[in-house]
Structure 1
Amino acid sequence: MTPLPIGEDPDADLLRRIARGDAAAARAMVGAKLPRLLALATRLLGDAVAAEDVAQEAMLRVWRQAPRWKSGRAKFDTWLHRVALNLCHDRMRRSRREVLVDEVPDRADTDPLPDAVLLTAATSERVGAALQALPLRQREAVVLQYYQELSNVEAAEVMEVSVEALESLLSRARRRLRLLLVEDGHDA
């Protein structure tokens, strides 16, 4: 594999191939991007089914946008994260207009699990609930940096804020998460 020219977007070649209708390139793009989009949407929405819809719609937009993509304006990955965030925002706005049901049905899993798995699942559930309780912009900052592993610069670009604003959001989010987890009766 030849190294990319300095400043070349690592996704540029796949996008060019997708624009030409290359199905293998589309599969490669889906394989590379879909898991991260699913994780992002799941953490923001708290709903795996809605997250799948968002991730699929974002991938459809990649397919549609590929012929018009102009390298150099924005990094493709940044654009894709922004698309996913916008789709999540749309989904949340729509769900606010619908009748909300506060109860989530319990899973019908009767198999006993090892203690370690139960503890991990319980911790993950508490953290997930605390994450959902954060204001949207704070939740986005946390998800982009900690779960999506974007740098401060990349996360700020996706959120269309300055790095300083992102750092402020992260700081407030960490304080709020600590408070929520302590209130929940667990050390943060």
Structure 2
Amino acid sequence: MRVQDDRRDEAGLLAAAGRGDRRAARALVDRLGPRLMGFVLRMTGGDRAAAEDIVQEAFLRLWARSGDWDADGAAGLGTWLGRVAANLAIDRSRRRRDAPLDQAPPIADPAPGGEGRMQQAARHDAVYTALASLPERQRQAVVLRHIEGYANPEIAAMMGIGVEAVESLTARGKRGLAALLRPRQEEL
């Protein structure tokens, strides 16, 4: 019941935002934006500028649907935004295939240094580099499931595939990550 209430609340905020209510728009962005931004950052290999552009475009597309959003539909706003953002990230990635993945900018840790922070940064860099090496669909499934914490049915809706396909992509992605990270296990 709570999920349905949240969906109706979000749909109400979307409708109000569509009518020009800035507070409703801000509330919706505050509610859905951080998780979406984290997901898109991972999908873009830590490219903050690209992630911000993608999140902004996803919300613009959501605002365009504000008048006809169905709160009782198959997907919630977060799921819908995730799917749109994933598609935008994949489109962007396809346009930039000529750039080597190993040149993706690392995600910097803004916290003060120390050996523990250096170790954590090395782990993050290794994971993001390994994630970037996975095929797009496997990377998307792994990020959505194991980093963003979405359930398989939500991922299936975002990716436009069945739950079994999500499970298969996630399993193959995890095996791929393990194989890529195994040589650096002691170092990390």
Q: TM-score per shorter chain, which class? A: 0.7 to 0.9
Name 1:39's counterpart in structure 2.
38
| Correspondence 1:1-188 to 2 at 5 A | 8-46=7-45, 47-74=47-74, 75-96=76-97, 100=99, 103=103, 113-186=113-186
Quick one: which amino acid aligns to residue 115 of structure 1? Answer: E
- 62-71 or 7-16, larger mean C-alpha shift: 7-16
The residue identity in structure 2 corresponding to 1:175 is R
Question: Deviations along 1:67-88, whole A, 9 cap, x unmatched?
Answer: 2212322322221111101111
Contact 1:138–1:173 (Cα < 8 Å) also in 2 = yes
Greater Cα radius of gyration, structure 1 or 2: 1
Alignment TM-score, normalising by the size of structure 2: 0.85
Distance 1:66 1:128 in 2: 35
Residues 56-101 of structure 1: CA distance to partner in whole angstroms, max 9, x if unpaired? Answer: 11111222221221232232222111110111122112212xx536
How has the CA–CA distance of structure 1 residues 62 and 107 changed in structure 2, closer, same or farther, with 3 Å as cutoff? closer
Report percent identity of matched pairs. Answer: 42
CA distance in structure 1 between the partners assigned to 2:186 and 2:94 by the alignment = 32
**RMSD of aligned alpha carbons:** 2.8
What's the offset of the Cα at 1:112?
7.7
- What's the TM-score, normalizing by structure 1? 0.85
Change in CA separation of 1:186 and 1:165 when aligned onto 2, cut-off 3 Å: farther
CA distance in structure 2 between the partners assigned to 1:19 and 1:132 by the alignment: 36
Distance 2:6 2:157 in 1: 17
CA distance in 1, matches of 2:135, 2:23: 40
- Following the alignment from structure 1 to structure 2, what is the Cα–Cα distance between the partners of residues 66 and 108? 36
User: Which segments of 5 or more consecutive residues in structure 2 lack a partner in the other structure?
Assistant: none
Amino acid at match of 1:18: A
Are the aligned partners of 1:9 and 1:76 in contact in 2 as well (CA < 8 Å)?
no
TM-aligned CA distance change 1:10 to 1:152, over 3 Å: farther
What's the CA shift for 1:186?
Answer: 3.9
* Number of residue equivalences: 183
Cα deviation for residue 175 of structure 1 reads: 0.8
**In structure 2, what residue type is equivalent to 1:95?**
R
Counterparts of 2:83 and 2:63 in 1: how far apart (Å)? Answer: 16
